Structure 1
Amino acid sequence: MKNRVIFVGVGGATCSGKTTLAKHLRNLLPESVILHQDDFAPPQENIPIHPGYNVQDWDSAEGAVDWPRMIKTLKKVKETGVIPPEHRSHDHLNEQRDVPIDRAVSERWKETFTQIAREHEERGERLIWVIVDGFLLYWHPEIVEQLDVRLFLRVPHDVLKQRRHERHGYHTAEGSLWRDPPHYWEQIVWPAYVAAHAGIVEGGDVEHGRPNGAVPGLILIDGLDMGMSDIVEKVSARLAEEVQA
């Protein structure tokens, strides 16, 4: 049986719903796993200090991700279809917000993807889905290159800010809880998000610009214009198209 590993990128700002979408997709797709970009953050002691505000900067692209480790892991998973045993995720420590989808949508697509998997197996091909979610997913060209499907969830600034402020914090790989210092959103999170994504949308307008082709095939989804059931419907249709082409 030959393995076919399909990487599905789910990018978006912090609190945009990307991890929620990724988990819905994992529930629909047979032989699927999630790789969280947050799990590739450097050790806490290596997170850089912002030169202007003198606090740790967990959000600027240059220092927020151990890029060589993430690239190496993705290449290994693409080659083997298996997450390396040394990889550890701390996503389960974070708040798990439940955003349900329509049962009919879930059951229909689960049945569809099960049938697709069966048809491929009859032809000697095992489909393995790897959903990669991250807030800096389209910043590094070597990451972008490895993704087969590229999704980007966009939510307006004010909604993201409110959601972020409602969170209790984020757990680090070491198990400690990071809480935003005062004004961290305005001073670091949002500027870092704009800097990392201005190059992939027209006019550098991260709130309204359409994809400019810098990330080939990028599917931009305005998260407030659609409910999660509709988003899952749209994405599932694209994934079915990817393997049936």
Structure 2
Amino acid sequence: MKTLIIGIGGMTNGGKTTLSKALLERLPNSCVMAQDAFFKDDSLVPVDSHGFKQYDMLSALHMDRMMEEVEAWRQDPRAFMASRRGAGHLLPPAVDQQVFVLIIEGFLIFNYRPLNELMNRRYFLQIPYKTCKQRRSSRVYTPPDPQGYFDRHVWPMYLKNRQEMEEMVEDLVLLDGLSERDELLSSVLRDVTADIEALRQR
């Protein structure tokens, strides 16, 4: 059984989920795992000196649980997808080419070394500060963002996390989150489909 792990990272509201879902729809034997699903309970997330919850840090996430899920997929992708309704889609066994794709999306997936080291492809969506702030303000979060949260916590943490990420990752492909969705999808699909075909030929 052959596997491929694709990382779709990026800043908040940069288009990670949209791109990941589009890939899911077009790649057979694929499933998506979102880092946001592994946030700790709000009561466990620390508060900084400004009273802001520190969500933009690895310590706010159950990365151990996420790694357990990734490992479960690596051990048996078909069983993993079959046991988690809605996790992905499978081709019928008769035409299955035995190449399974895991799409991991999240804002800190490349900052966690054990996870980062498992990835075959790494993409990072970026958008300008103004666009990011505008998109963030149009979304409803639970709990909601307090006044000044974006400028005093979210953006500074993004810059910090990005610097750390760039020091860890050498083959990161930067994507312009303002590009047309079809253009972004096509560029990633070209890489991934080539990788899948190469695996099939082995």
TM-score (ref. length: structure 2)? 0.86
- 1:5 Cα deviation after fit: 2.3
The Cα offsets for residues 95-151 of structure 1, whole Å up to 9 and x where unpaired, read as: xxxxxxxxxxxxxxxxxxx8xx95xx4xxx512111110011110111101111111
Per the alignment, residue 147 of structure 2 pairs with 182
CA pair 199-87 structure 1, distance change in 2 beyond 3 A: farther
Distance in structure 2 (CA, Å) of the matches to 1:30 and 1:46: 38
Aligned-pair CA distance for 1:60: 2.3
Determine if the alignment matches structure 1 residue 221 to structure 2 residue 175: yes
If the length of structure 1 is used for normalisation, what is the TM-score? 0.71
Quick one: which of 155, 158, 161 aligns to 1:193?
Answer: 158
* Match of residue 101 from structure 2: 129
Per-residue CA distance 1:194-223 (angstroms, 9 max, x = gap): 11111344xxxxxxxxxx7x3142111122
Are residues 1:73 and 2:69 paired? yes
Counterpart in the other structure of 2:40: 42
Take 1:185 and 1:85, find their aligned partners in 2: how far apart are those partners? 38
Encode CA deviations 1:30-74: one digit per residue, 9 max, x unaligned.
121110000111122211112x1123221123x221121112221
Partner of 2:171: helix, strand, or coil? coil
Aligned runs of 1:46-61 on 2, under 5 Å? 46-50=44-48, 52-61=49-58
Show the counterpart of 1:7.
5
Regions of 4+ moved over 6 Å: 86-89
Q: 1:216 to 1:72 in 2, by over 3 A?
A: farther
Secondary structure, in 3 states, of the residue corresponding to 1:16? Answer: coil
Q: Is the 8 A contact 2:52 2:153 kept in 1?
A: no
The answer on whether the counterparts of 2:8 and 2:20 sit within 8 Å (CA) in structure 1 is yes
SS of the residue corresponding to residue 165 of structure 1 reads helix
Unaligned 5+ segments in structure 1 are 90-113, 170-176, 202-211
Over the residues paired in the alignment, what is the CA RMSD in angstroms?
A: 2.4
* CA distance in 2: counterparts of 1:34 and 1:4, whole angstroms: 17
Q: In structure 2, what is the Cα distance between the partners aligned to 1:84 and 1:68?
A: 22
- Aligned match for 1:161, one of 133, 141, 147: 133
- Give 1:153 shift: 0.6
C-alpha displacement of 1:28: 0.3
Alpha-carbon spacing, 1:215–1:39, altered in 2? closer, same or farther (3 Å):
same
Cα distance per residue 1:10-33 (max 9 Å; x no partner): 000110001000000000011211
Q: 1:39 to 1:164 in 2, by over 3 A?
A: same
Partner SS, residue 98 of structure 2: strand
Deviations 1:153-174 (A, max 9, x none): 11111110110001122xxxxx
Change (3 A) 1:236 1:86: closer
Secondary structure of the structure 1 residue equivalent to 2:105: strand
The percentage of aligned residue pairs carrying the same residue is: 27
Aligned equivalents of 2:43, 2:82: Cα separation in 1: 24
What does residue 102 of structure 1 align with? none
